[in-house]
C-alpha cells in the first residue's frame, strides 16, 4: 500500500493541531502544514503542495470555504467537504439541513428587520436566544429576557451594519441541567462524548465550561450520526442539548476543538483522525488536472 501524504490546512497551530501532528508522526504518516495566510491561488492553474488528501483545521471560515472549493475543482479530496463546511459554518443552513432530515433541533425563527424580529421573539416567548448566523466559541450570543433587552440588542445589531447582523436568528431558550453534550464523530462512529458543564447558560469550553465524561448511549450515538449525515460532515463535533422533549441538536462544528474531550476518554482522537484520513485517501481516486 502506497504511503499517504496529508495536507493540514490551518490558520494557527493550536493544541489540537499539535496532537494531530504528533499522531501522524507516531503512525508514520507524512503531513504538510498549509498556512492559509500564505496561500495564493491562480484560479485557472493548479498550484498546490503535492498531497493525497487535505484536512481542514482553518479558523477563518471564508478562507477555508474558498480553499476547499478550489481543491474540490482540482480533484483533491478534503475533510470536510466544501459543501459540509459551508453548511456547518452557517447556523441557518445547518438548521435547515437538520429539519429536512428529521433531526430534532431547537425551534428557530428568522427575521429581517428589528420590528419583525420583535414580533418573532414575542411569538416564541421570553426568554429567547439571539445568535449571529455565523460564529463559534459561544461569542455574540444574547439571552433576551424581556422587550427592553430585545429592543436594545436589536438596535445594536442594526447599527453594527454588517450583513450577518442584519439577519436576526432567534432561537427558543431551553433551561439546561447545567450542561450540554459534545459528541465527536469520525466517519460512521461516535468515538467520544463529553458533558460541558457550567453555571453559566453558555457551556462552551471556550467560555469556561468544564468537560466531564458522558456515556455514549444508543440514543446519543444515533442522534449525532444522523446530524452529521444531514450536513455531510465526516469529522465533526455535534452539540446536543437535553430538553423536556428529549435530546436535540444545537449545532455541528467542523474543525471542532477536542482538547477538553480527550481528558474524558481513553480513545486516541488525533490518531483516529489520521487513520480515517489515510483510509479515505486510499479509497479516493484523484484524477490528474491539466495545469
- Per DSSP, helices labelled H in the chain are 15-27, 61-73, 82-88, 91-100, 114-124, 147-160, 218-231, 269-283
CA atoms of 126 and 89, how far apart (whole Å): 27
What's the CATH number where 59 sits? 3.40.50.20
Residues 191 and 184: beta-carbon distance below 8 Å: yes
Q: Are residues 250 and 183 in the same domain?
A: yes
- Which residues, 6+ apart, have CB-to-CB distance to 201 below 8 Å? 143, 173, 176
What is the pLDDT tens value at each position of the chain, 291 positions in all? 468 999 999 999 999 999 999 999 999 999 999 999 999 999 999 999 999 999 999 999 999 999 999 999 999 999 999 999 999 999 999 999 999 999 999 999 999 999 999 999 999 999 999 998 886 655 678 999 999 999 999 988 888 766 666 789 999 999 888 899 999 999 999 999 999 998 766 766 665 678 999 999 999 999 999 999 999 999 999 999 999 999 999 999 998 899 989 999 999 999 999 999 999 999 985 444 443
Number of domains the chain is built from: 3
Comparing C-alpha atoms, which of 201, 200, 191 is closest to residue 221?
191
CA atoms of 200 and 228, how far apart (whole Å): 27
Comparing C-alpha atoms, which of 271, 254, 269, 192 is closest to residue 6?
271
CA atoms of 256 and 21, how far apart (whole Å): 16
Q: Are residues 95 and 216 in the same domain?
A: yes
What's the CATH number where 263 sits? 3.30.470.20
Cell of 122: 414575542
pTM of the predicted structure, to 2 decimals: 0.91
SS3 of 21, please?
Answer: helix
Domain contains 189: yes
Domain contains 34: yes
Residues 199 and 178: beta-carbon distance below 8 Å: yes
Identify the domain containing residue 261 by its residue range.
Answer: 88-104+175-268
| Proportion of the chain in helix, strand, coil states, percent, rounded to 5 | 40, 25, 35
Helices and strands per DSSP (H, E), number in the chain:
8, 13
Distances 238 to 80, 99, 162, 195, 231 between C-alpha atoms, Å: 14, 15, 28, 12, 11
Residues 107 and 93: beta-carbon distance below 8 Å: no
What's the CATH number where 136 sits? 3.30.1490.20
Amino acid at each position: 500500500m502506497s504511503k499517504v501524504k496529508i495536507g493540514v490546512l490551518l490558520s494557527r497551530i493550536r493544541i489540537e493541531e499539535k496532537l494531530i501532528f504528533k499522531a501522524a508522526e507516531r503512525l508514520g504518516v507524512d503531513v504538510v502544514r498549509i498556512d492559509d495566510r500564505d496561500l495564493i491561488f491562480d484560479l485557472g492553474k493548479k498550484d498546490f503542495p503535492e498531497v493525497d488528501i487535505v484536512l481542514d483545521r482553518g479558523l477563518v471560515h471564508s478562507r477555508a470555504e474558498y480553499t476547499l472549493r478550489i481543491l474540490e475543482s482540482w480533484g483533491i479530496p478534503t475533510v470536510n467537504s466544501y459543501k459540509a463546511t459551508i453548511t456547518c459554518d452557517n447556523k441557518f443552513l445547518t438548521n435547515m439541513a437538520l429539519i429536512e432530515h428529521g433531526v430534532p433541533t431547537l425551534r428557530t425563527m428568522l427575521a429581517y428587520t428589528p420590528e419583525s424580529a420583535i414580533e418573532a421573539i414575542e411569538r416564541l416567548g421570553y426568554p429567547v436566544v439571539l445568535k449571529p448566523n455565523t460564529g463559534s466559541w459561544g461569542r455574540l450570543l444574547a439571552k433576551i429576557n424581556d422587550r427592553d433587552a430585545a429592543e436594545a440588542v436589536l438596535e445594536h445589531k442594526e447599527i453594527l451594519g454588517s450583513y450577518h447582523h442584519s439577519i436576526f436568528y432567534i432561537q427558543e431558550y431551553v433551561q439546561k441541567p447545567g450542561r450540554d453534550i459534545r459528541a465527536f464523530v469520525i466517519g460512521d462512529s461516535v468515538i467520544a462524548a463529553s458533558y460541558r458543564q457550567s453555571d453559566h447558560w453558555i457551556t462552551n469550553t471556550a467560555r469556561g465550561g468544564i468537560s466531564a465524561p458522558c456515556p455514549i448511549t444508543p440514543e446519543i450515538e444515533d442522534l449525532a450520526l444522523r446530524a452529521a449525515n444531514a450536513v455531510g460532515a465526516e469529522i465533526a463535533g455535534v452539540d446536543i442539548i437535553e430538553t423536556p422533549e428529549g435530546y436535540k441538536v444545537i449545532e455541528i462544528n467542523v474543525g471542532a476543538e477536542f482538547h477538553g474531550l480527550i481528558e474524558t476518554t481513553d480513545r486516541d482522537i488525533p490518531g483516529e483522525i489520521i487513520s480515517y484520513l489515510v483510509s479515505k485517501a486510499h479509497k479516493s481516486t484523484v484524477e490528474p488536472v491539466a495545469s
